Structure 1
Amino acid sequence: MDERDRPLQPALVLTGPLHGPVHLRFPEIPGYALQDIHGFTQEYLSRYSLTSLVYVRQWGQPIIAYLVDYDTNRLLTLPQIHRGRLGQAFNLTPPAMANYHIFQAQGSQRGAFSDQTGQIVYYYRRNSWQTVQRVNQYVLLDTDHAVFDEPNGRKYGYQFPAHSLWRLFIVITLTNGDVWYNLGGEQWLIAQETTRREHPLANLALPQPLTWHPQSFDRLGSVDYVPGKAVTCYQAPYGEVAGTLEHGAPLDIRGRIVDDQHLVWYQIGPKMYINARYVRLVKTDTL
């Protein structure tokens, strides 16, 4: 029987000689565990006796509820674990959260505990957030801006400088009309004295790429690097990689550049430069 004295299966009738041994194998009942035994003896002590086996429902797998900020995916509190016996019904409701209202729920909130773990995700939105937009835009700061951990939150100990450009991920409008920008993670700034852009290069006066003018320098040489290794060459001094050359490779040098750091570069092709520190020049009769 169960703990409420309800029979779980028909009674077993055991017979045997008086004072003889009792051979009883405790039944295994799916979904139940044996909790207590009343009146059991190892021998038949009288003409009639009663043994009661008390079973209880096994615990089902838990239902785990996650409370999440819908807009930031931040967990608002530790997961809530709901437990119950197998077959026991459950009927869950979203917990109240200070300064938040329930926005969406995913997962079954009604049912019965089983041998499978259940999951419910409750999504909440702040009461002060009126509208939320996920964007792929940029913002140019017209003045220095303080950075906050959340809208109207705590200031960080640094500022983003005027005329800097930043990627936007979320734009929110508060119930008081203020607009805030999310720059990734917990970095927020207010929209005042900023200019939004659809493209990072829109209307920006970007500096023109530096044009190099190599001096004529007609010499032969070779790569002086590390035996068995290759040195990197570039399309222009400090530019994109053009390729590599093995140690000892011959060079036909046609131009020479001395940059503003007084470093020397050799032009070894139409768009190929190598730092002079990795070049061994071939001696000539006149040098």
Structure 2
Amino acid sequence: MHFFDRLKGMLADLNSSDPTDDLAPDAVTASEDQTLTTNQTAALILVHHLDADGHELQAPDMIAGQIGDEIHLPDVSIAGYHLVNIDGLTRWFTAPQARIVLTYERQAGQPVWVYAYDIDQRQLIGIPMMSRGKLGTPYQVTAPTVAGFKLLRSVGDLTGEYTTTSKTVLFFYRNQNWQQTDLSTGFVKIHAETAVYPYAGATTTNYLTKLQAGTVFKTYMRVQLTNGETWYMVGDDQWIPESHVQLTDGDEVLLKLPTGYTAQNKRQVRQTGIVSFVPNKRVHTYIAPYGRYLTTVTHGETVQLTERLADDNGVVWYHIQDKGYLPGRYLTNLNPPHQ
């Protein structure tokens, strides 16, 4: 409930009692041997609206009446402030001239959130930080220091004012030993038995299994270290050095399309769809159905569909304009729904 609403309720309760009853200590009343003269002497009260430093927030309000009349405070709402103190308030006009001082405090603005993000592994590398301040006061964000990482860039306003809307600043980092990364995927063929390591550049490993010569593995990232070495990621926390592999097109492990797939189950469409994967995550598209990765699309993204394919096993694929093929199970809200 608004403060003035509560105050009015309190005054209304007082109105139900005899005006000569004792009032609260902070109220100025007539003494027992003095009677207020009503409707005879004009009275004027100035109501001042001040901030915590004593500055006027708006022009004073004037309340006119006569001595003995009941005082009715105006309804006041000052954006960005809330009332914290009232000085000089009485129930009735008691003098020809008086003042009431309302003191307001600046409301708190919405927070500014700061995140440190590994740009290559696509994950947070630290606890999110939050700063808050009074509305309209300035803020300045600095990049947190993250052990083992170097800062690449930031997204968001590093300086500004606290407002009624929360803000986000993202700082992107890269492993300090990584010089360059390539997120495109492919296949490598092992040409010499090799161990699997927990991170790029590792010299020891707890993985017991070794990859055998002649086997082919899908890769998810290629990293060039600051010392010139190149490593491939073949799984979560699973890395192998380039010196033990050679690139391949992966024909040995790619699934083959059903016979007559393209000729029998292909048609052009003009639809839109919404990518449905995992919130805040991206899903890969393919050069061709069952082929190699081409790029990625984001959960919730609206895409243009130009072609529909369905194989003999009932798997549906859609071609996304300029972005390759995506299984139909990752698309919702097709518009039009049927084509």
Q: TM-score, normalised by structure 1?
A: 0.63
Report the counterpart of residue 250 of structure 2 in structure 1. Answer: 200
Deviation at 1:241, TM superposition (A): 7.6
Whether 2:181 is the aligned partner of 1:132: answer yes
Work out whether residues 60 and 86 of structure 1, in 8 Å CA contact, stay in contact via their aligned partners in 2.
Answer: yes
Deviation at 1:75, TM superposition (A): 0.1
C-alpha separation in 2, matches of 1:194 and 1:149: 17
Work out whether residues 84 and 105 of structure 2, in 8 Å CA contact, stay in contact via their aligned partners in 1.
Answer: yes
Deviation at 1:41, TM superposition (A): 2.0
C-alpha separation in 2, matches of 1:111 and 1:134: 34
Matched-pair identity in %: 24
C-alpha separation in 2, matches of 1:69 and 1:182: 16
| Greater fraction helix | 2
C-alpha separation in 2, matches of 1:156 and 1:138: 24
How many pairs were matched up?
A: 206
Listed as ranges, the matches of 1:44-59 within 5 Å are 44-59=93-108
What residue identity is the alignment partner of 1:162? Q
Larger Rg: 1
C-alpha separation in 2, matches of 1:149 and 1:11: 68
Listed as ranges, the matches of 1:169-248 within 5 Å are 169-197=220-248, 199-201=249-251
Runs of at least 5 residues in structure 1 that lack an aligned partner in the other structure: 205-239, 244-287
Work out whether residues 147 and 160 of structure 1, in 8 Å CA contact, stay in contact via their aligned partners in 2.
Answer: no
Secondary structure in structure 1 of the residue aligned to 2:146: coil
Work out whether residues 88 and 112 of structure 1, in 8 Å CA contact, stay in contact via their aligned partners in 2.
Answer: yes
C-alpha separation in 1, matches of 2:83 and 2:235: 55
Deviation at 1:54, TM superposition (A): 1.1
Listed as ranges, the matches of 1:1-287 within 5 Å are 1-141=50-190, 142-148=192-198, 151-152=201-202, 155-163=205-213, 164-197=215-248, 199-201=249-251
Deviation at 1:117, TM superposition (A): 2.0
Cα deviations by residue, 1:157-211 (Å, 9 ceiling, x for unpaired): 44243133211121112223332211243332333322222x0127x9xxxxxxx
Work out whether residues 197 and 237 of structure 2, in 8 Å CA contact, stay in contact via their aligned partners in 1.
Answer: no
Q: TM-score, normalised by structure 2?
A: 0.54
Runs of at least 5 residues in structure 2 that lack an aligned partner in the other structure: 1-49, 254-310, 315-339
C-alpha separation in 2, matches of 1:34 and 1:101: 47
C-alpha separation in 1, matches of 2:64 and 2:313: 96
